Amino acid sequence: MNLVLLGAPGAGKGTVAQELVAEFGVAHISTGDLLRAAVKGGTELGIQAKKYMDAGELVPDQLAIDLVKEPLAADDAQQGFILDGFPRNTAQAVTLDSELSAMGREIDCALLVDVAPEVIIDRLSSRRTCRACGYTGTAADATCPKCAGEMYQRDDDNEATVRNRLDVYEKSTSPLVDYYRGQGLLKSVNGDQARETVYGGVKEALGL
- Contact positions toward Zn ion, by CB under 5 A? 130, 132-133, 135, 144, 146-147, 149
Q: Does 35 bind ligand ADP (CB under 6 A)?
A: yes
Which residue's CB atom is positioned nearest to ligand ADP? 32
Of these partners, Zn ion, ligand ADP, none, which one is at the site of residue 149 (CB under 5 to 8 Å by kind)? Zn ion
203 Cα distance to chain centroid: 17
**Whether 88 is catalytic:** yes
Instruction: Decide whether 120 or 186 has the Cβ nearer to ligand ADP.
Output: 120
**Whether 165 is catalytic:** yes
At CA 161, angle to CA 158 and CA 164, rounded to 5?
Answer: 145
The footprint of ligand ADP on this chain (CB under 6 A) covers a number of residues equal to: 18
Q: Look at residues 62, 97, 76, 68 and name the one whose alpha carbon lies nearest to residue 27.
A: 76
Strand order of the β-sheet with 136-138 is: 136-138, 127-130, 151-152
At CA 167, angle to CA 81 and CA 179, rounded to 5?
Answer: 45
Stretch that binds ligand ADP, among 18-26, 51-59, 137-145, 187-195 (CB under 6 A): 51-59
* Residues annotated catalytic, as ranges: 13, 88, 127, 154, 165
